[in-house]
Amino acid sequence: MPMLLEAPLGLSNAKVTDHHRARSAIVYVRQSSYKQVQHNRESQRNQYALVQRALELGWIPERVRVFDADQAHPGQDGLRADFRDLVAEVSLSRVGLVLTYEASRLARSNADWYALLDLAAIVGTLIADADGVYDPRTYNDRMLLG
């Protein structure tokens, strides 16, 4: 069983292990339209604040990455390079945690969402949002994410 590392500020989560922290934590920031990017600054601040959440869960700053190039791009898959890169990084087992403000809105289609969940389950990547940390390998968390 992997050893658990204590996260600062008492915000440890039993699902997060040293195995996860040895890989990257990726914060995926998204807003669909240019208007949202320009006028919904609060949402943007909340999403970027997830970097701090990764640090509180025990990631070192060098392993926390922000993917935010998909902002102001609606659901056209061809324009969502960061989401494709995120999926690639997860599939290569380089990601221990994907953070997004609202997990159910991480992907722009159900097919993309379930493909990411399946990959995360296979390689042991956790998904986190403002409400919690989820392990797609466990039945209850998979139900919450699905």
Q: Which residues are identified as catalytic?
A: 32
DSSP string, 29-78: ---SSHHHHHH-HHHHHHHHTHHHHHHHTT--GGGEEEE-TTTT--S-GG
CB 84: neighbour CB atoms within 10 A? Answer: 13
- Alpha-carbon distance of 139 to 108, in angstroms, equals 23
Q: Could you give the strand order of the β-sheet that contains 132-134, starting from the edge strand earlier in sequence?
A: 64-67, 24-28, 95-99, 126-129, 132-134
54-78: b or e for each residue (b if 16 or more CB lie within 10 Å)? bbebbbeeebbbbbeebbebeeeee
